[in-house]
Amino acid sequence: MREIVFDTETTGLDPAGGDRIVEIGCIEMINRAETGRHFHAYFNPERPMPPGAEAVHGLSDIFLSDKPRFSEKAGELLEFIEDSPLVAHNAGFDFGFLNFELGLCGHPIVCTSRMVDTLSMARSRHPGAKHSLDALCTRFGVDRSHRVRHGALLDAQLLAQVYIELTGGRQIGLGLVEETDDTGLTPSAGTVTVREHRIARAHCAADEELERHRAFIAKLANPLWARFTAAS
C-alpha cells in the first residue's frame, strides 16, 4: 500500500485569517517502508513573515522572496501524492492549509477521508503521555539530534519513522509462516546452532527393576497392576 507522510510550515495558525503555507515536505512509503522518493518545496507566501513563525521554522522574508508561489507547484505536488492516504501529525491542521491553498489556485481539494492523523493514533495508544513529534521520537528511539528547528521535509522524515512504530514497528510484516532462502534455511540475524539428530533410546525396564516392582505390588491388597505383572 502506498502512503504519503507529509508536513507543512506556515506563516501562522489560520489560513482563513491570511496565513499561508511556506514549505511542504512529502515522503513516499510503500507497505510502511520508505522508498527514497520525496517531494519538497518552499513557497513565497506573498505576505510578511511574522516573527513568531520565523522563530519556529527559520524561514525569513528574504529567503522566501525568490521562491515560487504555491500555485506554481500545486500540479507537481498533486501528481506526487496521487490518490494515496496522507499521513500527518495533527493532520487536521495540515489538511486545512493544504486544501485552502488548493482552493485558492482552482484545484480540487483533498478529501479528508484520506487523512491519517498520527496525533490521534498516539493519544489512543498512549493516553496521558506527551504526544508532540519530539516526545514520540524520544519514546520510540528515533534520532532527532539534527532537528534544531522545524522543517517540513525533516519533520516528515521523522514522522515516517514514528508512524512505522505506531503501526507495529519494524516487525509489522512478521507472520506465522517463515520464509526460507534458496538454501532452504530460514534467514536469521543471529547465530544458528545445528544439533546432531539422535536416535530415540529404548526405555525397557531392567529385570531387577521388574522384580522390585513385583515385590512392591505383592504388598498391596488386590492391586490392579498385578494382572500386568503376572503377564510379564
Instruction: Name the residues annotated as catalytic.
Output: 150
CA angle centred on 51, ends 49 and 56, rounded to 5°: 95
Calpha distance 113→92 (Å, rounded) = 11
Which residue type sits at 77?
A: L
Among 189, 123, 127, 134, residue whose Cα is nearest residue 161 = 134
Q: How far apart are the first and last CA of the chain?
A: 69
Question: What CA–CA distance (Å, rounded) separates 194 from 179?
Answer: 18
Are 26 and 4 within 8 A, CB to CB?
Answer: yes
| Closest residue by Cα to residue 72 from 36, 26, 112, 107 | 107
Place of cell 487536521: 92
